[in-house]
Amino acid sequence: MTGVTTLRALICAAVLTIPGIPGAAEALRVCADPANLPFTNEAEEGFSNRIAERLAAEMERPLVYHWRELGVGFLRQTLQAKVCDVVLDYAAEDWRVLNTVPYYRSSFVIAVRVGDDLAGVATLTDPRLEGRKIGVVAGGPPAAHLARLGLIGDARPYRLTVDRRFESPALTMLGDLNAGEIDAAILWGPLAGGDIAADAGLTSTLLLASALHPPLAYDMTLAVRLGDADLKAELDAALISAGGDIEAILTKANVPLMPLETPIR
């Protein structure tokens, strides 16, 4: 942990375990990856960190993180092990958790070089993609569709699971795009939106594929443990109340936003 994060966690833990302190609120315990920008990091610089801070303030709870790298077993080792109560940026409709109301919807995007004839491609069935070298994360929904469409043979795969402290497939893919080694890059919009916006040589378009399975667009929620309906209700209320601030955080982070499939109400 960073010094600030460690100190805050220790103070929160101490206050919350001293009996008889009036008004001591139960902490909002969040599990997150310590090196997963632009979402979260241990220095709390990600847009999801800022959303968590806003929700904790809305709920009048101290915010405490439990850090663990994303990967196989993450849910079992965090939420299900009861070391935390909330997981950020979780796709809706997962039977293993209770999903809060969604607080944003986004999609995979296709990034290309400015001025390229692929600019404006918005579907994977666009004939302009035939024979082009497309960067795609192996094992993700876009890779499945490229395989179905017969485009995977020309694609360049990038690893799905890496240690983000040392490697970033998204940045590597965008670097290869800039270098002309690939013609297009398919990336999860919230992951790459800021990097694409900061690069004057690149442009991106949301992939429109609402009827495809697996889908390319998702409503994103917070995840809580099955049975923890009270916390879900409290988070729902906070998400609705802080909705304007959350949208501003997402917009500032250049997260490509779409209308929610299930609007907040």
| pLDDT tens for each residue of 172-202 | 999 999 999 999 999 999 999 999 999 999 9
Cis peptide before 157 (omega within 30 of 0): no
Tell whether 259 is covered by a domain: no
Domain residues for the domain of 185 are 105-206
Name the residue with tokens 């997981």: 87
Helix boundaries (H) for 42-151 = 47-59, 74-77, 141-148
- Dist. CA 247–CA 265, nearest whole Å: 15
What was the pLDDT predicted at 211?
65
- Measured CA to CA, the distance from residue 151 to residue 131 in angstroms comes to 7
Which residue spans within the chain are E strands per DSSP?
28-32, 35-36, 40-41, 63-67, 86-91, 98-99, 104-113, 134-137, 156-158, 184-188, 202-206, 217-224
User: Residue 108 — very low, low, confident or very high, per pLDDT cuts 50/70/90?
Assistant: very high
Least confident stretch, 16-25, 34-43, 120-129, 256-265: 16-25
Highest mean pLDDT among 3-7, 69-73, 234-238: 234-238
Q: Residue 265: what pLDDT?
A: 56
Domain co-membership, 225 together with 99: yes
Give Cα 243 to chain centroid, integer Å. Answer: 17
H/E element, 193: helix 189-197
d(CA 117, CA 129): 10
> What does the pLDDT read at residue 263?
58
Same domain, 154 and 26: no
- Count CB neighbours of 130 within 10 A: 11
> What is the domain-level CATH number for residue 45?
3.40.190.10
| Domain co-membership, 177 together with 202 | yes
Q: Are residues 159 and 169 in the same domain?
A: yes
Instruction: Check whether residue 24 and residue 49 sit in a common domain.
Output: yes
Is pLDDT at 152 greater than 90 in this prediction?
yes
Say if CB 220 and CB 92 are below 8 A apart: yes
Rounded to 5 degrees, φ, ψ at 238 are: -70, -40
From residue 163, give the alpha-carbon distance in Å to each of 69, 70, 71, 189: 8, 9, 9, 20
- 70 phi/psi in degrees, rounded to 5: -65, 150
Give the separation between CA 257 and CA 112, rounded to whole angstroms.
19
Is 211 part of any domain?
A: no
Are 94 and 28 contained in the same domain?
yes
Indicate if 247 and 166 belong to the same structural domain.
Answer: no
In a domain, 161, yes or no: yes
Which phi and psi (to 5°) does residue 247 adopt? -60, -40
Average pLDDT over residues 205-222: 86
Count: domains in the chain: 2
- The reply to whether omega before 214 is within 30° of 0 (cis) is yes
Q: What is the pLDDT of residue 19?
A: 39
Specify whether 202 is located in the same domain as 239. no
Q: Is residue 159 a part of any domain in this protein?
A: yes
pLDDT at 18: 38
Q: Decide if 213 is inside a domain.
A: no
pTM of the full structure: 0.87
For the residues 236-249, what does the mean pLDDT come to? 97
With 90 as the cut, is the pLDDT of residue 254 above it?
yes
Which residue spans within 42-123 are E strands per DSSP? 63-67, 86-91, 98-99, 104-113
pLDDT, mean of residues 143-150: 94
Q: Is the pLDDT of residue 5 over 60?
A: no
113/239 same-domain check: no
3, pLDDT greater than 50: no
- 247 and 165 part of one domain: no
Looking at the structure, do residues 171 and 235 belong to the same domain, yes or no?
no
- Among 6-20, 95-109, 143-157, the minimum mean pLDDT is found in 6-20
Residue-level pLDDT at 261 = 72
Determine, yes or no, domain membership for 257: no
Shared domain for 188 and 113, answered yes or no, is yes
- Please report the pLDDT score of residue 246 as a whole number: 97
The SS3 call for residue 106 is strand
Q: Is 135 helix (H, G, I), strand (E, B) or coil?
A: strand
Q: Is the pLDDT of residue 234 over 90?
A: yes
Q: Which pLDDT score is estimated for 210?
A: 57
> Do the domain assignments include residue 212?
no
41: Cα separation from own chain's centroid? 12
Does 193 fall in a domain? yes
- Mean of all residue pLDDT scores within the chain: 89
Mean pLDDT value across residues 130-140: 94
Residue 10: pLDDT over 50: no
